[in-house]
Amino acid sequence: MVHPTTTCCKTSQDGSCVCAAQAKCSCGQQSALHCSCNKADTENTTSGPRCSCRSRPAGKCTCERAVTENQAVAGETCPCGSRPQDSCTCEKAAAVDSALEVDFTSKA
């Protein structure tokens, strides 16, 4: 069984993230990271905290989770302050693209 990353909101039958497929450029025509409008220079790359689909900046989601993801985060947050603690999506989130296994051998 293929497990989605901890930041993927839904998984399709082929194991890909549904939100990533839904995410659009803010101009609304092309898929996220494939913008062709005047925002292409800034939207075709992402860094820092992102939506759960990892294709849009945190707080600027355009997939079906936009209603919940674009709200301010309540409770414990990632170091960036833009995402919940258990779903960090920035470059420093070591477990984002790894399996859902946790290494307890080094835990006290």
In this predicted structure, the answer to whether residue 99 has a pLDDT above a threshold of 50 is no
Q: What is the pTM of this model?
A: 0.62
Residue type, 15: G
43-84: pLDDT as tens digits: 888 888 888 888 888 889 888 888 888 888 888 888 888 888
